[in-house]
Amino acid sequence: MIAHTRQRGVAMLIVLWACTLLAILLGGFAVMSRTEGLQARYQFAQAQAHYAAEAGLVQTINGLMSQDPQQRPIPDGRPYPITFDDAKVIVTVVDEDGKVDLNSAGGAVLQALFQAAGAPQQRAISLAAAVQDWRSFGIAGLPNGAKAPAYKAAGLPYGPRNGPFATIEELQQVLGMDNDLYEVVAPVVTIWSGRERPNPVHAPALALAAIPGMTPDQANALLASRQDPNASVAGANGVTHSIRSEATLADGTRAVLRAVVRLRGAQAGSQPYAVLRWQEGDSE
């Protein structure tokens, strides 16, 4: 009788352990299923926001190519709201002609840019010369500039390209440039305009300050004139534009796309535009 009771107790204990183990397994499966469900919803929302941002970008490109001036966005960085499905999309367009071209700008433009961005005069002079030395093919440097020996003396494992800037990010490698100054000037420099100085019609404020002879009063007047909703710069646009499209869903999910596009026009047998640069997110 006692042995039988012990057997029943052992059996009951095994059943209890089995039930406990089963409950743990079921709980784990429930947590895993919930986590997978949340991940799926997050990924779906991210994809939805991404495609909304892409729709805003494509719609803006179509507007830039429109024959109707009223349909073309003014490329001076002003925000354009767009609604796409349940997403709110904000698009900004900047004409690359309004920026400082790292490969074409003269020393006076580069110096004025760096000074306007907060660099002391002597540092701005040296940086302007170093930028010109970076892109020049010769081995002889400018006064206050930097060719290969200067980089070696600074302990850097590289020298100047001795050719045109291939990317905007390359500016970070120029001797004397630091991250703080780069973050300020990066939004207003380009490698795609080919202009010696920015086009003042839609240049950002910092790029306006880099134009020789541009006074603060003139720059402020230009910026103020853009606040007129009836203002138009039809016919003044270039062919290469930076576009930033930010989409936000009702639940706060956000996606940002940035692209540099060059319009080609309606040429037979060719794409109407080319994408020169494509980035997801706001990081450089």
Report the pLDDT value the prediction gives residue 45, as an integer from 0 to 100. 81
pLDDT, mean over the chain: 86
Tokens read off for 76: 């001076």
Contact 247, 254 (CB under 8 A): yes
Which residues does 180 contact at the CB level (< 8 Å), separation at least 6?
none
Lowest mean pLDDT segment, chosen from 158-162, 170-174, 222-226, 260-264: 222-226
67 torsion bin: left (phi>0), alpha (psi -120 to 50), beta (else): alpha
Q: CB count, 10 Å around CB of 181?
A: 19
Distance CA 5, CA 71 (A): 89
pLDDT, position 262: 93
Least Cα distance to 116 among 221, 195, 187, 165 occurs for: 187
Flag whether pLDDT at 235 surpasses 50.
no
pLDDT of residue 189 exceeding 50: yes
CA 31, chain centre distance (Å): 38
Q: Is the pLDDT of residue 255 over 70?
A: yes
Higher pLDDT, 165 or 282: 165
Q: In the predicted model, is pLDDT for residue 6 greater than 70?
A: no
3-state DSSP assignment of residue 245: strand
Average pLDDT over residues 136-145: 88
Residue 79 · residue 88 · CB < 8 Å: no
248, 49 Cβ separation under 8 angstroms: yes
C-alpha distances out from residue 249 to 36, 47, 52, 53, Å: 21, 11, 9, 10
Three-state SS for 205-240 is HHHHCCCCCCCHHHHHHHHHHCCCCCCCCCCCCCCE
Share of the chain above pLDDT 70, in %: 81
**Lowest-confidence region among 26-35, 149-158, 215-224:** 26-35
On whether the CB atoms of residues 198 and 180 are closer than 8 A, the answer is no
What integer is the mean pLDDT of 37-63?
A: 83
Supply 247's token pair. 């989409």
The full set of domains in the chain, from first to last, is 1-99+198-206+217-284 (no CATH), 101-187 (1.10.40.60)
The radius of gyration of the chain from alpha carbons, rounded to an integer in Å, stands at 29
Q: Which residues of 193-229 are buried (b: 16+ CB within 10 A; e: fewer)?
A: bebebbbbbbbbebbbbbbeebeeeebeebeeeeeee
